[in-house]
Amino acid sequence: MKEFNIGIKSIEELVKELYNAISFENPSEVNLDRFKLLFKPDARLLYFSKDSIEQLKLETFVIRLKEQIDNGNIKSFYEYEITKTIDSFGKIAHVFSTYEAKEHPENIKVIQRGINSIQLIFDKDRWWIISLMWFNEDSKNIIPEKYFPHFNEAGNSN
């Protein structure tokens, strides 16, 4: 895998690129190589469902996603961040990112909402994702209010 160093030096830029890389309006726009280059090659992705935890290697996740897109099971997908908290020290960081997903950016209907837990390291002049865990909201696990943006009287988020 070639080095990806197009100026993503901040955690905020990396998280924004993560959401951009996973979102697409039609299958021809999907660039999973772009997605993979945000991660260290040995990164892990973990999905928590009601009954299990599925841990995937980066390449396995990409292959499964590509199969879903190629089979027409996913025709369009748009995931975006609502808010995040970042904790960092030296060359390690953790991002807790609240997200929503829609089938298309113009849609009003949200198909899922949850939290991404992203672990990062700084290496070779940039931040890399080493672990991505996500949990989708459900009727038994409602996202706490503290993980949503708070607005002041002027309408600006805090």
Query: Residue ranges per domain, the chain?
Result: 11-138
Report the candidate in 46, 40, 104, 98 with the shortest Cα–Cα distance to residue 74. 104
Model's pTM, two decimal places? 0.87
Residue among 31, 64, 35, 32 at smallest CA distance from 47: 64
At the second CATH level, the architecture of 11-138 is Roll (3.10)
Check if the beta carbon of residue 132 is closer than 8 Å to that of residue 46: yes
- Check whether 9 has a pLDDT greater than 50: yes
Q: Over the Cα atoms of the chain, what is R_g?
A: 16
Q: What pLDDT, on a 0 to 100 scale, did the predictor assign at position 149?
A: 81
Average pLDDT over residues 50-63: 91
pLDDT tens track for 95-121: 999 999 999 888 899 999 999 999 999
Strand partners of residue 26: none
Q: Does residue 2 carry a pLDDT above 90?
A: no
